[in-house]
Amino acid sequence: MTLQVFGLPVSRGVAIGRAVLVASSRVDVAHYFIAPDQIPHEIERLRQARDAVADEIERLKREVPDDAPPELVALLDVHLMLLHDETLTGATKQWITERHYNAEWALSAQLEVLARQFDEMEDDYLRERKADIEQVVERLLRAMSRQSVSTLAAVSQTRERDWGGEEPLVLIAGDIAPADMLQFKRSVFQGFVTDVGGRTSHTAIVARSMDIPAVVGAREASRLIRQDDWVIIDGDAGVVIVDPSPMVLEEYRFRQRQSQLERERLARLRHTPAVTLDGEQVALLANIELPQDAPAALAAGAVGVGLFRTEFLFMNRQGELPGEDEQYEAYRAAVEAMQGLPVTIRTVDVGADKPLERMSMSELRHEHTLNPALGLRAIRWSLSEPSMFRMQLRAILRASAHGKVRLLIPMLAHANEIRQTFEILARAKQQLRDAGVAHTDVEVGAMIEVPAAALQLPLFLRHFDFISIGTNDLIQYTLAIDRADEAVAHLYDPWHPAVLRLIADAIRLARQAGKDVSVCGEMAGEPAFTPLLLAMGLRSFSMHPSQIPAVKQRILRSDTQKLALHLASVLASDDPHAESKRLWTSGREAAAERAFSP
């Protein structure tokens, strides 16, 4: 039976494929595909975990006090029985063998199947046995997490492999952790659907960077959709269609073909300079997350990297931080891959929706922090770990010897944070000089993503060489909206007058001071905002490579002088979005109509 699930459209286009469910669990579970020759190894891991849990339960049975209720021993016997039941372990082996899931993912997938079966039972007693299955699976997952297996190495070896099946796949999940998104980034999935999240949640941002359709905040999607259901993801409307009719399926396949033709047309603009109708040159830069993303930036026509998010080098490591040499090699690889073009490297921005897994610092764990977006994150964490911070700064400075590197500091808000940052940077430079290690004096910039920073921008302009406006967090903090919370996602409004005035003032003050200013948040990659940002005076946009062609097309059709004439009326309006639409439909300016129209 066809059904529709509604959520938030966060990455445009249409995806059609079989559903692959990532079940939620109280235990952190790694999700990745394995190569065919790794299947026996994963099955052996499953067997070892089962034997370890069986031994643990047998030990518990032996230690049960004589005066304990008999039901306790009976319960342990039930868990032993479930542990050896083929519907659990046998079927899990099938997921490993047929779908090439790693053992943890396969076990979680089978738990999802069994949980649904228990939920559909009419007998109350049998239905409540689902909890026993969940407890057994949790024990197995914990046992596998204790195994001395390098999950990250396995992921690295298999992330590039081709999927052996013929049918396209789409991913359905309650939520997708940043670490898992990193693993899925070059995977076989045609699209994503999650129960939670907002338009600028990390899942949404990565989906846009992958240029694949995604719908987040779909609430019940992971409960309503079953493994292997045919699913259509409409990333334009925010609709997920499950088990579509042949007519609907054909209509969406036609839309897929049209979208592909449009992408191919825009791709022809790759070598066209981004120059407005009135001759203003605009720099279109790329946001990247790993050195391997650099070739895609060049292919899209980027003239540099405006934001290298280094936190992804710190994730998926079971709490073990990357060393200085490892970081240096990653930064050097990105710099060299950009072939002499500038690379802006942001220091690590962890916390909030990007916690480090299994860190000893409980403040970074989402479940231990009352409000992680307002907690120990970004520069606050770096300053609390000065030795780690110096290590990263040394690695970035060393990479600067191989090309043009700029350093970017996230989430600054206080004068003492600026002072401490430059003191630690000076110490890192001195350490390199003492060791005779090659490096250069890099330009240092500040992220403007906290309203306090935007409101005291003259202080920042006195200390920094450039600024970069992070609109995702600036909107979140200005409007007091958790951008990853679908319950308030409808209140996350980039068109809010207060947000636009902060951005306009920051761009104006930076230009007056003769300092470079760019926007590296999601607004930079959204063509609807391109004319407005151009009117504000912005001449440097940084976005995911996949977004560059559409933004470049809008720039080529824009006249900045005529757009600037309408800026004051847009900023003064209580509804800037409506005012911008009125400008393009009024017919007063042909250039404004060309620029502002979708």
What is the residue extent of each domain of the chain? 1-28+162-267, 33-158, 282-559
Least confident of 29-38, 226-235, 290-299: 29-38
Rounded CA gap, 124 and 141, in Å?
27
Residues 6+ apart with CB under 8 A from 501: 571
| Sheet bearing 169-173, strands edge to edge | 3-6, 239-242, 230-234, 14-22, 169-173, 189-194, 214-216, 8-11
Q: Which of 1-15, 202-216, 554-568 shows the highest mean pLDDT?
A: 554-568
Give the model's confidence band at 23: pLDDT under 50 very low, under 70 low, under 90 confident, else very high: low
The answer for 443, left when phi > 0, alpha when psi is -120 to 50, beta otherwise, is beta
Bridging pattern class, strands 239-242 and 189-194:
unpaired
DSSP for residue 281? B
Give one DSSP letter per residue of 51-93, joined into a string: HHHHHHHHHHHHT--TTS-HHHHHHHHHHHHHHT-TTTHHHHH
- 299 vs 583: CA distance, rounded Å: 35
Per the model's pLDDT, the better-predicted residue between 157 and 522 turns out to be 522
**Which run of H or E residues covers position 440?**
none
Q: Residue 79: what pLDDT?
A: 84
pLDDT for 448 equals 98
For all residues of the chain together, what is the average pLDDT?
Answer: 85
Least confident of 29-33, 269-273, 355-359, 571-575: 355-359
1-28+162-267: CATH topology is: Glucose Oxidase; domain 1 (3.50.30)
Nearest to 19 by CA among 212, 173, 235, 184: 173
Q: Which of 31, 79, 100, 202 is catalytic?
A: 202
With a cut of 90, say whether residue 432 has pLDDT above it. yes
Lowest mean pLDDT among 129-133, 259-263, 363-367: 363-367
User: How high is the pLDDT of residue 178?
Assistant: 59
Q: Which pLDDT score is estimated for 127?
A: 66
pLDDT 10s digits, 480-498: 988 767 678 788 899 999 9
- Please check the confidence at residue 366 and state whether its pLDDT lies above 60: no
Mean pLDDT of the region 13-40: 81
pLDDT at res. 476: 92
Assess whether 202 carries a catalytic annotation: yes
Tell me the average pLDDT across 300-315.
92
d(Cα 537, Cα 515) in Å, to the nearest integer? 13
| Residue 68 CB contacts under 8 Å (≥ 6 apart), including other chains | none
Q: Is the pLDDT of residue 267 over 50?
A: yes
pLDDT for residue 217 is more than 50: yes
* pLDDT grade for 406, boundaries at 50, 70 and 90: very high
Q: Convert 450-470 to b/e letters by CB count within 10 Å (16 or more is b).
A: bbebbeebeebbeebebbbbb
Let me know if the fold of 1-28+162-267 is the same as that of 282-559: no
Report pLDDT digits (tens) over 154-175: 333 333 344 445 678 999 988 7
| pLDDT surpasses 90 at 136 | no
* pLDDT tens digits, 63-90: 776 766 566 677 788 888 888 888 888 8
With cut-offs at 50, 70 and 90, classify the pLDDT of residue 505.
very high
- What confidence score (pLDDT) does residue 318 get? 59
Higher pLDDT, 533 or 59: 533
pLDDT for the residue numbered 445: 98
Percent residues over pLDDT 70 in the chain: 83
CATH of domain 33-158: 1.10.274.10
Region of poorest pLDDT, from 28-37, 65-74, 285-294: 65-74
The pLDDT of residue 421 is 98
Note the pLDDT of residue 360. 39
Return the closest-CA partner of residue 563 out of 529, 581, 536, 587: 536
Model-level pTM? 0.72
Q: Give the pLDDT of residue 176.
A: 75
Confidence of residue 598 (pLDDT cuts 50, 70, 90): very low
Is the pLDDT score of 357 beyond 70? no
User: Residue 204 has what pLDDT?
Assistant: 77
Q: Does residue 152 carry a pLDDT above 50?
A: no
DSSP conformational letter for 322: P
- The residue with greater pLDDT, 147 or 543, is 543
Of the candidates 496, 520, 544, 566, the residue annotated as catalytic is: 520
What does the alpha-carbon distance between residue 447 and residue 406 come to, in Å, rounded to a whole number? Answer: 12
Candidate ranges 33-37, 396-400, 559-563; pick with highest mean pLDDT: 396-400
**Distance (Å) of CA 544 to CA 15, 280, 302, 316:** 20, 22, 10, 22
Write down the residue that tokens 């600054």 correspond to. Answer: 412
3-state secondary structure of 561: helix
What average pLDDT does range 296-304 have in this prediction? 95
pLDDT above 50 for 354: yes
Region 94-102: mean pLDDT is: 92
Residue 329 contacts residue 322 (beta carbons within 8 Å): no
Asked if residue 378 has pLDDT above 80, the reply is yes
pLDDT of residue 182: 58
Residue 586 has pLDDT above 80, yes or no: no
- Euclidean distance between the first and the last CA atom of the chain, given in angstroms as a whole number: 36
Q: Could you tell me the CA-to-CA distances from 400 to 244, 438, 461 in Å, in that order?
A: 53, 9, 23
Q: Which fold has domain 282-559?
A: TIM Barrel (3.20.20)
